Amino acid sequence: MEVRARAPGKIILAGEHAVVHGSAAVAASIDLYTYVSLRFPTPADNDETLSLQLKDVSLEVSWPIARIKEAFPNLETQIPPSSCSLEKLKLIAILVDEQNIPEANIGLAAGVTAFLWLFTSVHGCKPAKAVVNSELPLGSGLGSSAAFCVALSAAILALSDSVSTDFSHQGWQVFGENELELVNKWAFEGEKIIHGKPSGIDNTVSTYGNMIKFKSGDLTRLKTNMPLKMLITNTKVGRNTKALVAGVSERTMRHPTAMASVFTSVDSISNEVAAIIQSPVSDDLAITEKEEKLAELMEMNQGLLQCMGVSHASIETVVRTTLKYKLSTKLTGAGGGGCALTLLPTLLAGTVVDKVMADLETCGFQCLLAGIGGNGVEFSYIGIPDLGANGRNLS
Amino acid sequence: MEVRARAPGKIILAGEHAVVHGSAAVAASIDLYTYVSLRFPTPADNDETLSLQLKDVSLEVSWPIARIKEAFPNLETQIPPSSCSLEKLKLIAILVDEQNIPEANIGLAAGVTAFLWLFTSVHGCKPAKAVVNSELPLGSGLGSSAAFCVALSAAILALSDSVSTDFSHQGWQVFGENELELVNKWAFEGEKIIHGKPSGIDNTVSTYGNMIKFKSGDLTRLKTNMPLKMLITNTKVGRNTKALVAGVSERTMRHPTAMASVFTSVDSISNEVAAIIQSPVSDDLAITEKEEKLAELMEMNQGLLQCMGVSHASIETVVRTTLKYKLSTKLTGAGGGGCALTLLPTLLAGTVVDKVMADLETCGFQCLLAGIGGNGVEFSYIGIPDLGANGRNLS
């Protein structure tokens, strides 16, 4: 019995940092995915381990089921989702420590911890093999950890009793609303293990796809009415998100009046972006007009981010390089390096895109092309046993 | 009888562009000057011409006094200052046309026109020789035309009956308040000939020196309480000021709410800059603190100017180059090229300044060091006839 799930990454289209100070922000899914395959061994496999393979970082960890049973003498599966207790976190930490995961990447151990907790919370002590691979660069602000948690939760739930699914369906299929809510909640709990205090934005975008406006803790799902294509440039410059957020707060304390207006301006920009994306598109001309407005709003937002002090030389290089081709760019996420977004208008020639990407890659950056605002998490059953249209065999 | 006058250039410390939309702005004089020497020939010179030499552009024009009398049959000197009538402007244009001034530089002909009008308005048809040279790059937003008009008006008035001056004084001397007002008014009329609709800011800063806050047409003279040193980088990129101003207005029409907050933020920044400059300095630590605040406000202002769309790749290059040395830079004036300001803290080592300048000059830029907020227009008599302490001989 095997399921494959994929969950998209995210970008912040407008409002990062300012959202901490009460402005609206807009996030969107991108059609770059993290994939999780989850398989229960057949009796013929004679496999009594729980294993996780992270292909992109060439890491494989596994525990004999007996070792997990020993570590969790009183393990009970839990529905509905709830937070991981400190007690259980400590028990899991022991199991994770046994695997000698490279210390250089703290995120890896946290990801393995989230996996162990999510899987055992739903399925208890059961042999299984999870394989993860991703199109998202890790730790670059594109929501790779949320996509991991969402795809993992989706795969885990698709093989559980809590989700009623159609095994006869070929290819990717979507969950119903209730199942999506369940996936999102579990993923959020996974994100808590990885990030401590996640905003819930990344997992929500990855779960539901499309776009989300968020302000003062409230999330509103937006229905986009226009296709949007972005060039995402990963500067590969590492950031300290906490320090960047703190820097904006300190600047706000030093210059409260000026910064308040900056945040108000960002709020207007986010609202404009949301309105443009949701307004119906009548023809090509209208699309071009909307794209021009979005590009201008992105340029304005980038100036305001520079005003907050969270841009970076590498981001400015992307801004200037793309400006040569009359394309607008803003940083996305925490800034101080990380990724930049460049709007690629519908009518832009492919040869221009190739040139821009070649220029950026010459600077040592990684370029990714992404459609914006597509589907959220999806899953697909592989090697379905012949049970009839609505059959079910999860053991 | 000869007088020499010098008038400083200016920078905009905060608020350019936003000032058009109601925000406050702060301008300051810089200790880079335009010099005008004005000499009435002695009978022994046997010189019956009116001539103007612009040393920096290697231009010399001159008219026989008889030709000027012919061109202005009813010439009357005028006090107080008033605008040049269209009729007189046409007559002057004929005289200027006779000089075959290179057409490539429209500003030159306008400067010559302003000279002819200012001189003849005060002194009528009289032989004289004016020699002009300047430390200010022309047409780069440092107020070179205003400094020309102010220094010219000062020299013309210093040799007229309208100004009572102390011939016994050695070296540079300052005018009294009434004379300054007269110089400023005449210079403003000169600026009108050169620029059409000047704001009056450049000539006011050049006349009075120090700093000026301006908002909605009101000018307030500020008394600075701290020495400020700036590196001025002339990118040598030419701009179209009118197009840049129009661009900001168009962006404001497209995104009125977001831009209104941007202008409000700039207003706060200008007010903060003015407050910091005027607050008393107690010790070195306080100076450093003030400089850090000013640097941060300049960085913020630059972000907001980028948000308005008036920055330029060349300006961003200056920003990034100076940022390597932890120095803050903003564009000054119209943007779209032109000049950038970099704050040089009091305690910054000279070797660092040398390195930054070398880096910027490698980019093809011109670097100028300037003290900010010094004296306005000054003058000095040369070769004074022995008339006793309060003597006067102007013919």
- Which residues of B participate in catalysis according to the annotation? 202
A258, A264, A306: residue with CB nearest B269: A258
B306, B309, B320: residue with CB nearest A313: B320
- Is B170 strand, coil or helix? coil
Q: What is the mean pLDDT of residues B282-305?
A: 91
**ipTM score assigned to the predicted complex:** 0.87
> Percent of chain B beyond pLDDT 70?
94
User: Does B254 sit within 8 Å of A269, measured CB to CB?
Assistant: no
Chain A hits for B266, CB-CB cut-off 8 Å, are 258
Express each pLDDT in B171-192 by its tens digit.
899 999 999 999 999 999 999 9
Express each pLDDT in A293-306 by its tens digit.
999 999 999 999 99
- Segments making up each domain of chain B, as ranges: 2-218+375-382, 225-372
Chain A hits for B258, CB-CB cut-off 8 Å, are 265-266, 268-269, 272, 297, 300
* Closest-CA residue of chain A to B298: A307
> Per-residue confidence at B384, pLDDT binned at 50, 70, 90?
low
Do the domains spanning B2-218+375-382 and B225-372 agree at the CATH topology level? no
List A31, A161, A202, A218, catalytic entry: A202
Q: Does B291 touch chain A (CB under 8 A)?
A: no
Given a cut of 60, whether residue A392 has pLDDT beyond it is: no
Chain B hits for A254, CB-CB cut-off 8 Å, are 293, 296
User: Does A255 sit within 8 Å of B300, measured CB to CB?
Assistant: yes
CATH class belonging to A225-372: alpha beta
Given a cut of 70, whether residue A85 has pLDDT beyond it is: yes
Chain B hits for A252, CB-CB cut-off 8 Å, are none
User: What 3 state SS string does A54-67 have?
Assistant: EHHHCEEEEEEHHH
Given a cut of 70, whether residue A388 has pLDDT beyond it is: no
Chain B hits for A301, CB-CB cut-off 8 Å, are 307
Q: What is the mean pLDDT of residues B331-353?
A: 95
User: Does A305 sit within 8 Å of B303, measured CB to CB?
Assistant: yes
Given a cut of 80, whether residue B293 has pLDDT beyond it is: yes
Q: What is the mean pLDDT of residues B198-208?
A: 93
Q: Mean pLDDT over all residues of chain B? A: 91
B257, B268, B309: residue with CB nearest A258: B268
> Per-residue confidence at A199, pLDDT binned at 50, 70, 90?
confident
Q: Does B269 touch chain A (CB under 8 A)?
A: yes
Closest CA of chain A from B270, distance in Å? 10
For residues A335 and B75, the model is more confident at: A335
User: Does A265 sit within 8 Å of B262, measured CB to CB?
Assistant: yes
Closest CA of chain A from B294, distance in Å? 11
Of the candidates B125, B124, B133, B110, the one whose C-alpha atom is nearest the C-alpha of residue B5 is B133
B257, B296, B303: residue with CB nearest A303: B303
User: Does A254 sit within 8 Å of B293, measured CB to CB?
Assistant: yes
> Per-residue confidence at B311, pLDDT binned at 50, 70, 90?
very high
> Per-residue confidence at B387, pLDDT binned at 50, 70, 90?
very low
User: Does A299 sit within 8 Å of B303, measured CB to CB?
Assistant: no
User: Does B296 sit within 8 Å of A313, measured CB to CB?
Assistant: no
B251, B265, B309: residue with CB nearest A262: B265
Radius of gyration from C-alpha coordinates of chain A? 22
Q: Does B268 touch chain A (CB under 8 A)?
A: yes
B272, B308, B316: residue with CB nearest A258: B272
Mutate to test the interface with A, among B23, B255, B273, B276 (most CBs of A within 10 A): B255
- pLDDT at position A81 is 86
Cα atoms in the Cβ-side hemisphere of radius 13 Å centred on B105: 15
Mutate to test the interface with A, among B251, B271, B297, B306 (most CBs of A within 10 A): B306
- pLDDT at position B358 is 98
Q: Does B26 touch chain A (CB under 8 A)?
A: no
Q: Mean pLDDT over all residues of chain A? A: 91
> Per-residue confidence at B225, pLDDT binned at 50, 70, 90?
confident
> Per-residue confidence at A385, pLDDT binned at 50, 70, 90?
low
B251, B257, B268: residue with CB nearest A257: B268
- Comparing A72-81, A272-281, A382-391, B281-290, the range with the smallest average pLDDT is A382-391
Given a cut of 80, whether residue B104 has pLDDT beyond it is: no
Closest CA of chain B from A339, distance in Å? 18
Given a cut of 60, whether residue B354 has pLDDT beyond it is: yes
For residues A263 and A197, the model is more confident at: A263
Q: What is the mean pLDDT of residues B42-65?
A: 94
B264, B304, B309: residue with CB nearest A307: B304
User: Does B272 sit within 8 Å of A265, measured CB to CB?
Assistant: no
Q: What is the mean pLDDT of residues A214-226?
A: 89
CA distance B259 to A303: 12
Closest CA of chain B from A255, distance in Å? 8
Query: pTM value?
Result: 0.89
Chain B hits for A300, CB-CB cut-off 8 Å, are 251, 255, 258, 262, 307, 309
Given a cut of 80, whether residue A391 has pLDDT beyond it is: no
- pLDDT at position A301 is 98
- Comparing A13-22, A199-208, B9-18, B102-111, the range with the smallest average pLDDT is B102-111
CATH architecture of the domain B2-218+375-382 equals: 2-Layer Sandwich (3.30)
Closest CA of chain A from B255, distance in Å? 8
In CATH terms, is domain A2-219+375-382 a member of 3.30.230.10?
A: yes
Q: Does B299 touch chain A (CB under 8 A)?
A: yes
Q: Does B215 touch chain A (CB under 8 A)?
A: no
Closest CA of chain B from A266, distance in Å? 7
Decide: A37 and A4 in contact? Cβ < 8 Å. Answer: yes
> Per-residue confidence at B392, pLDDT binned at 50, 70, 90?
very low
Residues 221-260 in B contacting A (C-alpha not used; CB under 8 Å): 251, 254-255, 257-259
User: Does B316 sit within 8 Å of A258, measured CB to CB?
Assistant: no
Cα atoms in the Cβ-side hemisphere of radius 13 Å centred on A392: 10
Given a cut of 60, whether residue B71 has pLDDT beyond it is: yes
Given a cut of 60, whether residue A93 has pLDDT beyond it is: yes
Q: What is the mean pLDDT of residues A321-340?
A: 95
Helix (H) or strand (E) holding B3: strand B2-14
Closest CA of chain A from B143, distance in Å? 27
User: What 3 state SS string does chain A have?
Assistant: CEEEEEEEEEEEEECCCHHHHCCCEEEEEEEEEEEEEEECCCHHHCCCEEEEEEHHHCEEEEEEHHHHHHHCCCCCCCCCCCCCCHHHHHHHHHHHHCCCCCCCCHHHHHHHHHHHHHHHHHHCCCCEEEEEEECCCCCCCCCHHHHHHHHHHHHHHHCCCCCCCCCCCCCCECCCHHHHHHHHHHHHHHHHHHHCCCCCHHHHHHHHECEEEEECCEEEEECCCCCEEEEEEECCCCCCHHHHHHHHHHHHHHCHHHHHHHHHHHHHHHHHHHHHHHCCCCCHHHHHHHHHHHHHHHHHHHHHHHHHCCCCHHHHHHHHHHHCCCCCEEEECCCCCCEEEEEECCCCCHHHHHHHHHHHHHCCCEEEEEEECCECCEEEEECCCCCCCCCCCCC
Given a cut of 60, whether residue A390 has pLDDT beyond it is: no
Chain A hits for B319, CB-CB cut-off 8 Å, are 316
Chain A hits for B316, CB-CB cut-off 8 Å, are 316, 319-320
Chain B hits for A272, CB-CB cut-off 8 Å, are 255, 257-258
- pLDDT at position A272 is 97
What are the tokens at A114?
A: 């989230």
Q: Please state the separation of Cα A63 from the chain's center in Å.
A: 27
B269, B300, B307: residue with CB nearest A300: B307
User: Does B320 sit within 8 Å of A319, measured CB to CB?
Assistant: no
